[in-house]
Chain A
Amino acid sequence: MTWLDTVALAARNVARRPGRALLTVISVALAAALFSAILTIADTARTRVLDQLAKGGPLAGIEVAAAEADPGQVDSDNAQPGAPRDLDDAALAAMAALPDVRSVVPIETARVLAIPPFPLVLADGRTVTLERDEGRGRRAPNATFETFVGTDLDRAVDLPITVLAGRLPAPGSQVEVAVTPTWLANFGLGRADADAVVGLELELGAPRAFGDRVRSRWTRATVVGVVAQQAAPGGLVGTREMVHPDRLWTAAGLPDERFSLGTTPYSGAFVVARELDAVGRVRNQITGIGYSTRAPENLIATVQRYLHVVEIVLTGIGVISLVIAGLGVTNTLLAAVRERRREIGVLKAIGARDVDVLRLLLLEAGVLGVLGGVLGSALGIGVAAVVAVVVNSYLESQSLTPVHPQLSLSIAVIGVLGSGVLSLVAGAIPALRAARLPAREAVDA
């Protein structure tokens, strides 16, 4: 009996019990869908994480401070900076020229007086006041003195910034700011209250010392979001276009230790390495240039270990689902063999060899598996695409680059072939049992 004839007969046999075949195909399809979805999501997530870790990104980033390097800093995630040292354009250019550096994002900071409305009524109707007594009784009882962090927000994807509520200020904006949990804490608020402060108006005053007098440069800004960020410590985040004039204004005054900025043009920089393995090398090179650095290398290694555990768990779930589907195929074929003892006997009576029967049953299993695999792979990739839409809506709310599900042909092929092989393995025992049935069944049944 040729393979083609056997395949045709196997297909007819499968189609004879459409309900049972459909249930078996669905069980294989669900397993294949889960497996394909896991593979697609894992592949997408791995690509995303590797983009972040191995090809550059916030986690492969290095904070550079305007300070002298600590010689032992490369071995520490949180090295203590040395004496202040000016960080200027020449230093940033030297860092950008390092072969393993993907980008250098300069950070400027200014000290500003931030004054929200008084009384401070939140969007949810609550009225809050400063937790500490400082400033009470003055003309602006809600005023706090904050570090205003300015950076290139059009490169926010390279920065360790997470949007907790609202959004980031628009690139180049001079009227929008984001506040951090540090500022919220002044009013006894936490991250859960983040939504309630979006939309507040702030008056920002950059001070300049004139001996015993202080004059401020006043601007108004709208709080468009609440962010957690590790680019530089501070209560407010905005664009460099907004912070730079404040910084220049303060720096032009007489020295005053309350809001001294030093002489450095930039208070820091965020350097992104091309790959995770290069972080240590780049830190060494920046140390050679003479600046203090910090990088979460040990943290990343820990995260990688957790990721690996997650991958193992996901793989385990996939394997369990495949085993369950395989048992379904085995059960279906065992039932088929039980029901078809006479038919198998007749096949043998008219000349079928054991190997013909074995091949027929295996192909029946293969037909179920391939059908389930095709259906399941399509379903799994669809599920992954839906998951990607959900994930993207979150990432976009965080002003982060969306993910693109890795809809690779190889995953579809693995899904189909894997299901086929799974079904062949699952069908082996019933097929062997059928092949060993005595031909005598033809006259006994």
Chain B
Amino acid sequence: MRVRGLRHRYQAPGGVLTVLDGIDLDVPAGGYLAVTGRSGAGKSTLLAIVGGLEKPQEGTVEVGDIDLTRANRNDLAHFRGSTVGFVFQHFGLLDQLTAAENVELAGSLAGLGGRRRRARARDLLGAVGLAHRADHRPTQLSGGERQRVAIARAMTNEPRLLLADEPTGNLDGESAAAVVALLEDVHRDRGCTLVVVTHDRTLAARAHRHLDLSPGRDPEPGSAPGAAPAPAPVPDHRYAPDRGRPA
């Protein structure tokens, strides 16, 4: 991921609000970046731009060989469906669908056939330790379980870029640790690039690189690409690729 001179502004009641001002950023394939900063610093905006949810107003953003600056709405939709996996603080699950159907939905949008995507959803739910909850609706799951379903959905189309926006923001400590461990396992085992937006400095410290968007702050020293993550507590439900890999 290569970002150059990224600027983004919003029209606010008091005038124009600049949230990203000349961001340059390189994240190698398979890298792990944590983005922190105060509320309103532009963390989610950065995530939305590199995830193709929003077009940059100024500067260039390239993910792999795709220049998001030049992509149209359909290109961006295809990019999001094939290259990016999103994990949201609010989980983003559809309450009217079961856990398995939520996971299948991403495959359905990518054009996967019914049998293939059902098998993949089953495998992914098994991999996140929720095979037994496949037929449960989101409202019947705990917060941690919902986030694991969301991670399974994000992995459906085998993305090269996994973006997590405050993935532990709505979780208790134990569930948060389990979710973080799961994201890191996915990142490590599948080799996808992981970008996590968080307020949690402990979580940020585990990333290979840390970008602090607070005004006047540069990326923290010692968080160079390739830095080893700090050890994490082992949760009850670890990502277990040997329990079933996506087809």
Least CB distance from A1 to B in Å reads: 5
B41 contacts partner chain A, Cβ-Cβ < 8 Å: no
Identify the interface centre among B84, B86, B106, B114: most chain A CB within 10 Å of its CB.
B86
Which parts of A420-445 form the interface with B (CB within 8 Å)? 438-440, 442-445
Given contacts A16-B95, A351-B157, contact A440 B73 (CB under 8 A): no
How extensive is the interface on chain A, given as a class?
20 to 34
B221 contacts partner chain A, Cβ-Cβ < 8 Å: no
Least CB distance from B50 to A in Å reads: 12
Assembly CA distance A445 to B106 (angstroms): 20
Q: Which residues of A contact B96 (CB under 8 A)?
A: 12-13, 15-16
Q: Which residues of B contact A444 (CB under 8 A)?
A: 44
Which parts of B57-97 form the interface with A (CB within 8 Å)? 73-74, 76-78, 80-82, 84, 86, 88, 90, 92, 94-97
Assembly CA distance A70 to B83 (angstroms): 94
Chain A interface mostly: helix
Assembly CA distance A332 to B144 (angstroms): 33
Q: Which residues of B contact A410 (CB under 8 A)?
A: none
B48 contacts partner chain A, Cβ-Cβ < 8 Å: yes
Q: Which residues of A contact B74 (CB under 8 A)?
A: 353-354
Please give me the residue from chain A that is nearest to B157 by CB atom.
A351
B182 contacts partner chain A, Cβ-Cβ < 8 Å: no
Q: Which residues of A contact B97 (CB under 8 A)?
A: 9, 12
> Binary interface profile of B, 26-64, with partner A (CB < 8 Å = 1, else 0)?
000000000000000000100110011110000000000
Q: Which residues of A contact B82 (CB under 8 A)?
A: 351
B17 contacts partner chain A, Cβ-Cβ < 8 Å: no
Q: Which residues of B contact A1 (CB under 8 A)?
A: 108-109, 111
Q: Which residues of B contact A350 (CB under 8 A)?
A: 80-81, 86, 105-106, 109, 153-154
Flag if B109 contacts A443 (CB, 8 Å): no
Q: Which residues of A contact B44 (CB under 8 A)?
A: 443-444
B184 contacts partner chain A, Cβ-Cβ < 8 Å: no
Assembly CA distance A439 to B47 (angstroms): 12
B110 contacts partner chain A, Cβ-Cβ < 8 Å: yes
Assembly CA distance A346 to B165 (angstroms): 13
Given contacts A351-B82, A439-B53, contact A346 B109 (CB under 8 A): no
Assembly CA distance A352 to B82 (angstroms): 11
Flag if B108 contacts A5 (CB, 8 Å): yes
Flag if A443 contacts B88 (CB, 8 Å): yes
Flag if B94 contacts A443 (CB, 8 Å): no
Least CB distance from B235 to A in Å reads: 25
Flag if B77 contacts A353 (CB, 8 Å): yes
Q: Which residues of A contact B157 (CB under 8 A)?
A: 351
Flag if A442 contacts B77 (CB, 8 Å): no
Which parts of A8-59 form the interface with B (CB within 8 Å)? 9, 12-13, 15-16
Least CB distance from A288 to B in Å reads: 78
Identify the interface centre among A353, A356, A438: most chain B CB within 10 Å of its CB.
A353
Least CB distance from B196 to A in Å reads: 13
> Binary interface profile of B, 153-165, with partner A (CB < 8 Å = 1, else 0)?
1100100000001
Flag if A438 contacts B108 (CB, 8 Å): no
Q: Which residues of B contact A356 (CB under 8 A)?
A: 109
Flag if A351 contacts B80 (CB, 8 Å): yes
Least CB distance from A286 to B in Å reads: 75
Least CB distance from A390 to B in Å reads: 45
Flag if B95 contacts A442 (CB, 8 Å): no
Assembly CA distance A53 to B165 (angstroms): 76
Given contacts A350-B106, A351-B109, contact A439 B80 (CB under 8 A): yes
Least CB distance from B165 to A in Å reads: 5
Assembly CA distance A86 to B52 (angstroms): 99
Flag if B108 contacts A349 (CB, 8 Å): no
Identify the interface centre among B105, B110, B154: most chain A CB within 10 Å of its CB.
B105
Report which of B48, B95, B108, B110 forms a contact with A443, defined as CB distance below 8 A.
B48
Least CB distance from B157 to A in Å reads: 7
Which parts of B138-182 form the interface with A (CB within 8 Å)? 153-154, 157, 165
Q: Which residues of A contact B88 (CB under 8 A)?
A: 346, 349, 442-443
Least CB distance from B108 to A in Å reads: 5
Q: Which residues of B contact A13 (CB under 8 A)?
A: 96
Q: Which residues of A contact B114 (CB under 8 A)?
A: 5
Least CB distance from A224 to B in Å reads: 68
Assembly CA distance A442 to B163 (angstroms): 13
Flag if A438 contacts B153 (CB, 8 Å): no
Flag if A2 contacts B53 (CB, 8 Å): no
Q: Which residues of A contact B81 (CB under 8 A)?
A: 350-352
A89 contacts partner chain B, Cβ-Cβ < 8 Å: no
Assembly CA distance A442 to B81 (angstroms): 14
Q: Which residues of A contact B106 (CB under 8 A)?
A: 350-351
Please give me the residue from chain A that is nearest to B76 by CB atom.
A439
Least CB distance from B124 to A in Å reads: 13
Flag if A440 contacts B92 (CB, 8 Å): no
A277 contacts partner chain B, Cβ-Cβ < 8 Å: no
Q: Which residues of A contact B90 (CB under 8 A)?
A: 342, 445
Flag if B109 contacts A349 (CB, 8 Å): no
Assembly CA distance A280 to B114 (angstroms): 70
Given contacts A12-B96, A442-B88, A442-B92, contact A349 B54 (CB under 8 A): no
Flag if B80 contacts A348 (CB, 8 Å): yes
Give the 10 A-B residue pairs with the shortest CB-CB distance, closest first. A351-B81, A346-B92, A351-B109, A353-B77, A439-B53, A16-B96, A12-B96, A350-B106, A440-B54, A349-B86
Q: List 19 A-B contacts (CB under 8 A).
A: A9-B97, A15-B96, A16-B96, A342-B92, A343-B92, A347-B109, A348-B77, A348-B80, A349-B51, A350-B109, A351-B78, A351-B82, A352-B77, A354-B77, A439-B48, A440-B53, A443-B44, A443-B47, A443-B165
Instruction: Give the interface of B toward A (CB within 8 A).
Output: 44, 47-48, 51-54, 73-74, 76-78, 80-82, 84, 86, 88, 90, 92, 94-97, 105-106, 108-111, 114, 153-154, 157, 165
Instruction: Give the interface of A toward B (CB within 8 A).
Output: 1-2, 5, 9, 12-13, 15-16, 342-343, 345-354, 356, 438-440, 442-445
